[in-house]
Amino acid sequence: MQMIEIEQLPGRAVPPPIKVGRKAIDEDSIAREMQYHPAATADEAKLSAARALVVRELLRQRAVELGLVADTDDEGDNDAAIAALLERELEVPEPEEAACRRFFDAEPERFSEPTRIAVRHILLAAAPDDAEARDAQYRLGETLIEELQRISERFTEFAMRHSNCPSKSEGGELGWLAPGQTVAELDRALQHLPEGLHDRPLASRYGWHVVSIDQRSGGQRLPFEQVAERVLHTLREQATRRALRHYLLALEEEIGVEGIELDDNAAGSLMQ
């Protein structure tokens, strides 16, 4: 009876080797590169690492072709040569002022003052894995909110009596908060709440929060002149990404890549 190699069985296909021109990208190199490409899964990190190595090898081979570096494995020489190559061959158009103003008009939130909110809260602490405590604290939060809806002046009293946050001594006052100044799950909720007492407790990893938004400030559109350099830098970076992607795809076609395809973010690893 003829024996069948395990590698030939259905479902056990061996992935094709990755080659750039005649140069193979080996598994050990990909494994070493993976540490620089964090991802949700190991397979995603491996793919990202392999693409980054392919991009660098494409550029290295082009630099060798132009005489910018010798065909060696010296990473330091390669990095300098790749930088010189891109300086020489990459054509990036400078964004015009009209394009900058269009981008500014289309992205009002990006070019506005950060919104700050004056917040008071009562933290009813409960661990994430303590279902009984979380249920009890949520019910307490509902009771406090019902009473505060009748008599709002009791917020300070309730904070001093029930809150597990150091702010209890200040009647629950957290002061003015900018985005990112509290835990992420609470921060996201606070940014979208209207002013006043929120009608139900808000969850966080620490428990439940009875929250009052006392005031909002900021969110005003900044004048173009104040952010013109930021706008220019953003558009220049976008233009560089596009130019680099087109350049890499042209090199892929000219030199040849086997075993993997460059994606739309081919230039990403070089832009970081």
Q: Which two tokens stand for residue 200?
A: 């139900």
Give the pLDDT of the chain (272 residues) as one tens digit per residue: 343 343 333 444 446 799 999 999 999 999 999 999 998 899 999 999 999 999 999 999 999 999 998 877 666 678 899 999 999 999 999 999 999 999 999 998 889 888 889 999 999 999 999 999 999 999 999 999 999 999 999 999 999 999 999 999 999 999 999 888 999 999 989 988 999 999 999 999 999 999 999 998 877 889 999 999 999 999 999 999 999 999 999 999 999 999 998 876 665 555 55
Query: Angle 97-106/224-255 helices, nearest 10 degrees?
Result: 100
Distances in Å between the alpha carbon of 44 and those of 99, 168, 191, 204?
A: 35, 46, 33, 30
User: E strands of 163-238, at which residues?
Assistant: 173-177, 196-197, 202-204, 207-217
pLDDT at position 168 is 95
pLDDT at position 14 is 45
SS3 (DSSP) at 25: strand
Specify the amino acid at residue 239. Answer: A
Instruction: Report the 10 Å Cβ neighbour count for 88.
Output: 10
Residue with tokens 């082009």: 62
Dihedral angle sign, alpha carbons of residues 33, 39, 40, 43: negative
d(Cα 187, Cα 208) in Å, to the nearest integer?
A: 13
Q: Which domains does the chain have, with CATH numbers?
A: 8-95+231-271 (no CATH), 116-217 (3.10.50.40)
Residue with tokens 């494995």: 73
First and final C-alpha spacing in the chain: 56
Distances in Å between the alpha carbon of 14 and those of 2, 5, 24, 50, 263?
A: 21, 12, 16, 16, 22
pLDDT at position 267 is 59
Q: Judging by beta carbons within 10 Å of its beta carbon (0-12, 13-18, 19+), is residue 230 exposed, middle or buried?
A: middle
- Which residues, including other chains, have CB under 8 Å from residue 235's CB and lie 6 or more apart? 95, 99, 100, 103
- Give CB contacts under 8 A, 24+ apart, made by 75-83: 82/56
pLDDT at position 6 is 32
pLDDT at position 66 is 94
Specify the amino acid at residue 86. Answer: L
Give 158-214 pLDDT, tens digit per residue. 999 999 999 999 999 999 998 889 999 999 899 889 999 999 999 999 999 999 999
